Structure 1
Amino acid sequence: MSKRAIDGIREALIQGLMEGTAPWQKPWKPGDKDVSQPYNASSGRAYTGWSNIVSLWIASDKSGYTSPAWVTFKQAKDLGIHPRKGEKGTPVEFWKFHKKREKNENGTTEEKVIPVNRIFYVFNEEQLADPLTEAAKPPVIEAQPEPVQFVARLIEASGIPLSWGGDKAYYRPSTDGIRLPRPEQFHEVSEIAATGLHELIHATGAASRLNRDKSDRAREEVVAEAGAWLAAMRFGLPATPENSASYLTGWASRLKGDQAKEIDRALADAQKAVNFIEQMAQECGLIDGVDDSTAATAAA
């Protein structure tokens, strides 16, 4: 993503964190008619990657859009409609990976993966002169019928011991285990699932997994909260922020160094954690595999 585009997203994220209005501080319920993951109305695919999802959520929140459907200028034109005069697009990034075989310095042939990045500007359905009547239908995110059991299986699939009891939720690095209060101690099932995801994201940072730098506790809390929200959308789980807005805002204000860089780093780490959990879930059959072309074609 261009420096100008990504900087705008970072600035909005920092402002949202300080005001307690970051996207992952808002509830997410699969199937909720007023809350839906942003998708491309030409391909019908959901946008992937933290920068795309957050960019579109921030734009929707700022402008009051209720439609999750987005299209490029060309896609709108192909559908016989166009953005209203004066409307500005929102940036999303498109990644595609090309494989190329090259000889190395030892004379042997090896395969290299070359990433290609392009920026597209998309328009929300509510920025168009006419509604997207001929557009692809939005992706249906099926709600898990047993969210608590599903999260427990996700934790098990990641090889992390889970125990119940006490009045605190935490991941303990020394034992590499997660402990959650008993289900009856929570007010709602959604709180159990959200808290379990939060602690699971923490656990992905262990040396035996992603070996994430957790020296800055403030950044790690942002990673866990944002990652839990992204994971909830991916797996069809309800997300009720485990931390209050004021609590998370407090952590954000204590980020060390350049806040913009630390926010970017935290969100990138959150996405890596979700990808790690998704791979584990696929390997043990909890979820179906996803077509590799999804991320590449979502923005195009």
Structure 2
Amino acid sequence: MAKLARRNTAPRRHVAQEITDLIIRKLETGVAPWQRPWRSLGASGRPLCHQGSAYTGINAIYLWAIADTAGYRSPYWMTYRQAQELGGQVTRGERASTSVYFNSVKRSETDVATGEETNRVIRFMRSYAVFNADQIEGLPGYFYVHSDPVPPPPSEHQAAIDAFFSPIPIEIRHGGDRAYYSPTHDLVQLPLPGAFKSIDHYAGTKGHELAHATGHSTRLARTFGKRFGDDAYAMEELVADLTAGFVGAHLGLPNELIDNHASYLDHWLRVLRADKTAIISAASKAEQAFKWLSAFSEPQQAGADETDEADDGDQVTDEAAEDAQIAA
């Protein structure tokens, strides 16, 4: 009796869904991997195959997203076998990423009733396991990034940028591939200036993160309380973005820097739709943050830094909201 073929009980991979899910997760974190305000260190341009040709389409976007998540510096990707052929060895414990290949084949089919033969095009997708060069040991040196990128040329706004940011007494550290403010250590972490598309982009990102730092308990002690609840984080991001917009306008930076910060649009829309006065509170907090930052380079006259406030515990009335809109 012939043995029955063993069925493959392993769950079927849905590669397209995996790719889609990662892109969604990246967007949900607020950073589109193809629109970062700074270049991935050593990996500007498209991801590259082992022989130097560029990945295209969804492969480029997907590998960008993976490199962005993992912090890979090399632009090169290859299969396990390709790495071995180049004298390399995948580091133990490293996990592969997915590269997809689309193609089509023609299949001849004969109609049983008429005998007519037709050709049918069948499109298919295959997936391959690939590793970034940073996950592989022993490759030729050109696969790795050995130095930091060359700093971009100075901005035409350089003098204003330096005058504005230099006196601000908040610690700024450089390195890595992330920009953030750490409330625990009360410091701003930024990639090296040379990792940004331009000094203007670097200044715009610095303004955004310093805006977060103004909310520290030793400065403006910014909180949003019960009024915004779970949306307090979205409100803080909105304040930081508005503050960065004020900084950018003050320094004459390009408008595109402000657009690049619009990462939490969906969250902001939810907050603003639920509370029509939320934007008034956010603008007020942003104005306070901007004045705090700018006071070190342009000291205000006594009383000149007073601003209308809509504190988190205050519910701005319809009449007050209308007045605020008229005043704006």
Between the two structures, name the one with larger relative contact order (CA 8 Å, sep ≥ 6): 1
Query: TM-score per shorter chain, which class?
Result: 0.3 to 0.5
User: Which of structures 1 and 2 has the bigger CA Rg?
Assistant: 2
Could you state the TM-score of these two structures normalised by the residue count of structure 1? 0.42
